């Protein structure tokens, strides 16, 4: 069941790229704003990813998975209904956050549910689903945009997401949680480091790879290095 959500979010990471020309024309937006429809999702996804993995330990992978899928599904509806490029970008950030909430839980569920002798096969299926989703995305996006309009690349997620929530609530087992003190400083370091690095990587070309872009990327790596050190130094205190 968890692969249901994984397929959706990875499909969405590639399906939008083919819809960008239609989105640009529909809103009369400029190129840089349209590019942010994709960049916003990737930032919303990448920045909290380290944090949501820890939250899955705290509150349980089942709860985080279902919550993430609900956020992703609601944000998909918001994307389709967006009346301006700005609102679409905002909805894509929320959609990315929902995706970040559920992705780590898919691996956790696979590792906990399957016995060691079957875990390798299960991880192979996980990887295959991820690969298929990224390949299918552009094809599905082209068909939906040509047939019904760019909004439908988001609307199609709604019934699929609702079905995924229902099936997940029925079939994903409740698992023991690992309660620990929330590391707020660690969360802040990972979020800041990931944002600086990913933002610089995505937007570097727009700023012609100016020195400030490289400085931001380097700063992000430094902060992530501090995060790794902080995690190692405080491992025994949790």
What is the DSSP track for the chain? -HHHHHHHHHHHHHHGGGGHHHHHHHHT--HHHHHHHHHHHHHHHHTTHHHHHHHHHHH-HHHHHHHHHHHHHHHHHHHHH--SHHHHHHHHHHHHHHHHHHHHHHHHHHHHHS-HHHHHHHHHHHHHHHHHHHHHHHHHHHHHHHHH-TTHHHHTHHHHHHHHHHHHHHHSPP---------HHHHHHHHHHHHHHHHHHHHTTTTTT-HHHHHHHHHHHHHHHHHHHHHHHTGGG-
pLDDT of residue 237: 55
pLDDT of residue 58: 80
Q: What Å distances lie between residue 227 and 47, 201, 220, CA to CA? A: 13, 19, 10
CA torsion 124→53→177→62, rounded to 10°? -60
pLDDT of residue 232: 81
Contact between 89 and 36 (Cβ < 8 Å): yes
Q: pLDDT tens, position by position, for the chain (238 residues)?
A: 567 777 888 887 778 888 888 998 888 888 878 888 888 888 888 888 878 878 887 888 888 999 999 999 999 999 999 989 999 999 999 999 999 998 888 888 877 777 777 777 877 887 888 788 778 877 888 888 888 889 999 998 899 889 889 988 888 888 777 666 777 787 788 788 888 888 888 777 777 788 888 998 899 899 888 888 887 877 655 5
pTM for the model: 0.83
State both tokens at 197.
């690095």
**Region for residue 195 given its phi and psi (left: phi exceeds 0; alpha: psi -120 to 50; beta: otherwise):** alpha
pLDDT of residue 121: 80
pLDDT of residue 238: 53
């Amino acid at each position: 069941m968890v692969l249901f959500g994984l397929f959706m979010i990875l499909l969405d990471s590639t399906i939008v790229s083919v819809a960008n020309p239609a989105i640009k024309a529909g809103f009369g937006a400029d190129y840089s704003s349209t590019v942010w429809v994709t960049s916003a999702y990737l930032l919303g996804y990448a920045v909290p990813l380290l944090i949501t993995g820890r939250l899955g330990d705290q509150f349980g992978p089942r709860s985080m998975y279902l919550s993430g899928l609900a956020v992703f599904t609601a944000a998909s509806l918001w994307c389709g209904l967006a009346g301006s490029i700005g609102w679409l970008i905002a909805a894509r950030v929320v959609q990315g956050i929902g995706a970040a909430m559920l992705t780590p839980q898919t691996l956790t569920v696979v590792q906990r549910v399957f016995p060691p002798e079957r875990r390798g096969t299960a991880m192979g299926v996980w990887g295959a689903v991820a690969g298929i989703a990224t390949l299918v995305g552009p094809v599905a996006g082209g068909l939906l945009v040509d047939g019904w309009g760019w909004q439908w690349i988001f609307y199609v997620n709604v019934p699929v997401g609702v079905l995924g929530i229902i099936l997940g609530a029925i079939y994903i087992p409740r698992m023991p949680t690992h309660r620990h003190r929330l590391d707020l400083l660690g969360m802040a370091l990972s979020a800041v480091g990931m944002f600086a690095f990913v933002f610089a990587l995505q937007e570097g070309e727009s700023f012609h790879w100016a020195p400030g872009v490289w400085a931001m990327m380097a700063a992000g790596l430094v902060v992530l290095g501090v995060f790794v050190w902080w995690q190692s130094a405080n491992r025994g205190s949790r």
